[in-house]
Every structure is written in C-alpha cells, then in structure tokens.
Amino acid sequence: MLKAEKNGAERTRRLERVLRVEWLGQTVASLCWIVSVFVYGVSETGDWLQLAAASAWLVANVAAIASVEAD
C-alpha cells in the first residue's frame, strides 16, 4: 500500500514538472534544434556539434524528470 502511494506521488511530481513552462519550453526548443539540423543537413563538423549539443540538452531535460527528488 505504501509503495503504491509513493509511486503515485512520484508520478504526480513528474507530471507537475513536465507541465511547467520552463521544462516544456526547453524541451520544445531542443527538439526544434535537433530537427533543424536534419532539415538543413549534416555536412560539416559544426553540424555534428550542433546535433550533439541539442541532443545533450534534450537528454538533460528528460533526466531532470526521471530523477524525482523530494522537495
């Protein structure tokens, strides 16, 4: 019973974080950045670096949601 309540509380905290404007804005921005790299083409080293930076930003946003800590 306690474990179910704890899991429910974690899910609620994750959902609250996902629905924050800051998180949504950063996630959408990183996804747009990734898409733009493919739209304009990956032809030089700088393009790969742009893709790596955008992907790292997206992974950091997802990791922030995955690691729910007690406030």
How far is the C-alpha of 45 from the C-alpha of 18, rounded, in Å?
33
- State the Cα–Cα distance between residues 1 and 27, nearest whole angstrom: 34
Answer yes or no: pTM beyond 0.85: no
What is the model's pLDDT at position 71? 47
* Cβ atoms within 10 Å of 23's Cβ, excluding its own: 16
pLDDT at 4: 61
| Res 1: pLDDT | 53
Which pLDDT score is estimated for 5?
Answer: 60
* pLDDT score of 69: 61
What tens digit of pLDDT does each residue of 2-60 get? 566 667 777 788 887 888 898 899 999 999 999 999 999 999 999 999 999 999 999 99
